[in-house]
Amino acid sequence: MITVICGNDTFSSRRKFQEVKSQKAHEIVEFEGAHDIEKIMLALKSESLFGNPLQVILELEKDLLPPDLENFIVTNQKNNNLLIWFGYNIPKKNDFVQKVREVGGVVYEFSAKKSSSNFDLVSALLSGNKDFAIKAFAMYQENKEKDDYVVGALAFEIRNALGVACNAQFVKSLKPFPYSKAQTYAKRFSKEQLLGAFKIALELDINQKTGFEDSLSFAIVRILTVLYKF
């Protein structure tokens, strides 16, 4: 059985990955990246102490799946129990995903809704105007279909602003528009405020990746508390 989890909404896909992973038996073999093809193939062909196929978990945050490994996985799908998480979006016409579906595998795709309203919310939260930020968050709370992407976007903007404030090397590689926004946000908040807010966003990300449930709304409240000191 092959299970594939992917999509550009890595926040939601990661949470699904942890959920599926927690349901697996104890006899599992995990790989981060696909650089050691031979070991992965060997694990897929191996059996547990009870004669059942090992449960193999492949975590690909940035790595692409090598063609040879793709072919091996699909052609030997009856003899393996594989869970793959892709930390990026896979094109809908991708041959591997189509083949996984054809052989009876399961594919979970998570797409982030990067609507203008989400960008407006992030801009409002980092506006430097406490009342405006609180009103924007209240409207977000009333939205029945809350978007996890908001927290990821907020963390991204805070990181960039903190990078500008600290003159970090990575900001030099930012494109003009995100760099300009980071400069604006860096002027509105102190290094201490940005660092405190970023720690909260990073904590939330780690909690989600390790399967620990955390409240997105509560995280935003904590970030606002640090940024606006209330």
pLDDT tens digits along 68-96: 888 888 887 666 688 898 887 776 667 88
Q: Is the pTM of this model over 0.85?
A: no
CATH number at residue 7: 3.40.50.300
Provide the residue range defining the domain that includes 135.
116-228
Dig out the tokens for 120 from the structure: 């407006």
Does residue 11 sit in the same domain as residue 105? yes
- Supply the pLDDT for residue 116: 47
Where does a domain end: 109, 127, 146?
109
Weakly modelled stretches of the chain, pLDDT under 70: 11, 24-26, 47-53, 77-80, 91-93, 112-119, 143-149, 208-214
CATH number at residue 159: 1.20.272.10
pLDDT tens digits, 166-176: 999 999 888 88
Handedness of CA 72, 73, 74, 77 (dihedral sign): positive
Count of alpha carbons within 13 angstroms of residue 166, beta-carbon side: 14
- Supply the pLDDT for residue 158: 92
- Supply the pLDDT for residue 32: 86
Chain mean position to CA 230: 30
Does residue 160 sit in the same domain as residue 213? yes
